[in-house]
Structure formats: structure tokens, C-alpha cells
Amino acid sequence: MSYSPFDFTNNELGLYYFRIYDFCHDGIIQSLISEFSVKDQHFLNSIQNKDVQKRTLFGRIILKYIAIRLEIGQPDFVSITKSGRPTFTLPNGFDFNISHSEKMVACCLVNNSIAGIDLEFNKSINIDTYRNCFSLKEWHFIKKSENPDLSFFRLWVRKEAVIKADGRGFGLNLSLINCLENVVEVGLSSYFIENINIETDYSCAIACNKKKTIKLIDFNKIFNSQYYFSSQL
């Protein structure tokens, strides 16, 4: 089975997901970090929380893999837009978005479209703290469901995916973004939303400004089978 990001058509969206290994100790992490540009090394080593550092690192590893396939040669292959949204340094028609939580990292890649992704571990929280982020209709849906906590996360990731695709993030009023429907209007833009099951105990959703078929790609199989930065990756 091939895992090239170009195995999907313009009507498809690639979703790369990765489970972080328990044996990834500091020595392995530093070895992986050393393969990046000096700028990226400084950024990754500035992350004090070791778990966040691991998740951010593997997100960059997935992007490095994709950048090689897109023939982006410069070491700093990711740049940040004025609105704070990460993008590829060279304009190439491809858009990506990354999310990570606990032991999972997910990255979506799409051509000639804009997409956002959110991934959350379904941990125990006080969902009432987030009441103001939902409309009355959404909150009623959550509270009346058989599993309010799970319904909360399934709706929350839909909202985050939309605001990440939009690019303005939490500058938007979340309560005004009704994510009960599969198509959401934000200003003059429309986004198609879909919940994706990639791992037990996690909620994940993708929002895209064009209707796409989502293709799941297990990045652990790529990472395990080849040295990830080799020219053969």
C-alpha cells in the first residue's frame, strides 16, 4: 500500500494520523529534532512541556515528509501568515492543518482548498465551563444526549476545525457557529464538516471549504518502514 500524499484526487483530503510511541525518550527526541533546520531546532527546544514538544515534533515530521513529496527544498518549509496560520513556504496549491492531543497527532492535506482539523482526547472535564461557547440549540443537544461528555467533544472539535480553517481562530464567537449541521456558514464562507474516527477515546473533525472524501493515512506505517528523512521517504 502506498502512502504518498498524491495518492488522492482533488476530490479527496488526506488525513495523516500518528500514535506517539511510549519509548520515545529524550535521547530519541533530541536526535529527531537535530534533523531539522536551526530555526526549527530552536523552536522545538523552546517548548518546555515534554509531551507538547513530542507532539509538535511529530507534527513537523509529518510535514517534512509531505514537503519532500511536494519538492519544497528549503530547510524552513513552513511559514506563518499575518493572521497566524501556518502554511507552506512555497505557494503550491496545497493547504495543511495540524492538531494533536495526548498521544495522537493528526494532519490534513488538501489541494486547491482550505481545511482545518481538530483532535481532542476525550478526557473528563467540567463541560459546563464551556457553556458560552455553544448556542442554546447545541447545548440542549449535548445535555439531552446519552453521553453528554462525548457529545461535547464531538461538537467541540467541529467548532475548532471550522475556526482553524477560517484562520481567525478564537477571534470568532464560537456560540454563533452552529456545528450541528454538516455545512456551516462563517461570514461569506461555507465549510463542510465531518467527524472522523481515528482512535478510541479521541474525537476528531475536519472542516473544508469544499466537499471532500476523506482518506485516512496511518503515518506509523510510514515512520516504521522507512527512515523518515531519507530521500526514499
From the CA atom positions of the chain, what is the Rg in Å? 18
Give the pLDDT confidence score for residue 2 in this predicted structure. 43
Give the pLDDT confidence score for residue 226 in this predicted structure. 53
Q: pLDDT of 146-168, one tens digit each?
A: 999 999 999 999 999 999 998 88
Asked whether 219 and 62 are in contact (CB, 8 A), the reply is yes
Give the pLDDT confidence score for residue 225 in this predicted structure. 56
3-state SS assignment for residue 207: strand
Query: Is the pLDDT at 4 greater than 60, yes or no?
Result: no
Query: Is the pLDDT at 5 greater than 70, yes or no?
Result: no
Q: pLDDT of 72-103, one tens digit each?
A: 877 788 888 887 788 887 767 899 999 999 99
Please report which confidence band the pLDDT of residue 229 belongs to, taking 50, 70 and 90 as the band edges: very low
168/166 Cα distance (integer angstroms): 6
Average the pLDDT over 182-199 and give the result. Answer: 94
77/40 Cα distance (integer angstroms): 10
End-to-end CA distance of the chain: 14
Residue the block writes with cell 488526506: 14
**Size (the chain), residues:** 233
Query: Is the pLDDT at 175 greater than 60, yes or no?
Result: yes
Q: pLDDT of 196-224, one tens digit each?
A: 999 999 999 999 999 999 999 999 988 87
Question: H/E element holding 110?
Answer: strand 104-111
Q: pLDDT of 29-79, one tens digit each?
A: 999 999 898 989 999 999 999 999 999 999 999 999 998 888 887 778 888
3-state SS assignment for residue 76: coil
Cα 136 to Cα 149, 157, 204, 216: the distances in Å are: 17, 18, 23, 33
CATH architecture designation of domain 117-210: Alpha-Beta Complex (3.90)
1-113+212-233 shares its CATH topology with 117-210: yes
Asked whether 111 and 10 are in contact (CB, 8 A), the reply is yes
Give the pLDDT confidence score for residue 139 in this predicted structure. 97
Residue-range domain boundaries for the chain: 1-113+212-233, 117-210
Give the pLDDT confidence score for residue 109 in this predicted structure. 95
Query: Is the pLDDT at 230 greater than 50, yes or no?
Result: no
CA–chain centroid gap for 153, Å, is: 15
Q: Which of 191, 122, 110 is nearest to 156 (CA)?
A: 122
Domain 1-113+212-233: which CATH number of 3.30.499.10, 3.40.50.720, 3.90.470.20, 3.30.365.10: 3.90.470.20
DSSP H helices in the chain: 26-33, 38-45, 50-69, 136-144, 148-166, 219-225
